[in-house]
Structure 1
């Protein structure tokens, strides 16, 4: 009996001595509406890589649409601006980047500080709007010395046809340290991307709101129901335009809307 007790004490001692990974409180980084500052999100200086080209994907709101770039951060930098919401007198502060130059394509990134390693699931929820010939790419990087080489894509959004602020959420990877990247892609012509708020919470994403369409369970990607079967691909893998029926069905939908 004494030997068994000693063994149990040894096991308990071993378990309590194991290294545990704490759950971090991300402070304002994890809950930011940009009212006072950028909450630690930074904009890199423009960079050119002579002779080295990288694939930049997400044009038109589709990851399959890629172009080769060797110049990064050549677009208008993200800046804090006070914006009047469409259809109301209400104002909000947002991070904004715009393209006012024709016949050019630009990228503009804003990057978070390092998100500490955690074994817990976390959810990134953000509010945004995309206007004109622009797109918003959401990704994360693990190689902090290569901030422009995106390979871990979380979401991509094309033009917000209804000019409404949209909320989306994606699950963040557990078990690694990383930085989150919001990339604005500007095509020929005028366009703008607005980022209104960022919220990072512990636990898996809760899913879509009742008035939203879930594109894919794995990505926890949500879009407004009004964007389903509207002849415009809004989901990352274009799920919102699958099984939409005949042209006659679409005409009925638009008439009812």
Structure 2
């Protein structure tokens, strides 16, 4: 545990803007996953479509941002999508900014209103079947407030095809709420994710740690249409792919940076 605490402390928990200090970030081990110009290092998997098909130009780059849009869709038709970075990661500190824009696309489930996420420890999308809706993965769920005065936390955890250990036991529910504030409107929110292989995971929103859990593993439900050979319940997840989510709500992402952390010797 002391080793884990040291790694987390060394990684630097305070989110600083990438703009204007690119050289410093590189010296500290940070590198961009998104260059603000294109998504050549990323690839797409959308439900009802083959891997690599960016249906409806869902994921696009404009104004230095990755924009997720549905203007070329008819009815949403459960076309849940994910944009994956090209290589998997195991021990790392990820940081990014996001904001919600516009209205939920017609036909999208009501629960996806102002809802997106960062999938991690995901299965390789090339192992996903055409009719698989969600990747077997862990999700840092991103929610926007509904401007109704009711609390709606962001930086939550959801677990399609997976389980996690929370407060000493396997979490009983598919999602765990964080302790974050509610963020209404289209403001930019800073998120961070610290992943230490198959051990500790931390979610951070605007500099505050809002959720911690451990031992991500295959199991549980929610994911459908997968290849049974991939879903080995009980298998700990020590690495996997990172993906941005599309599920009917327009959303923007920018300043996506990662710092790989040292793997402790066993």
Give the TM-score taking structure 2 as reference length. Answer: 0.43
Q: Flag the structure with larger Rg.
A: 1
Higher helix share: 1
Greater RCO, CA 8 A, separation 6+: 2
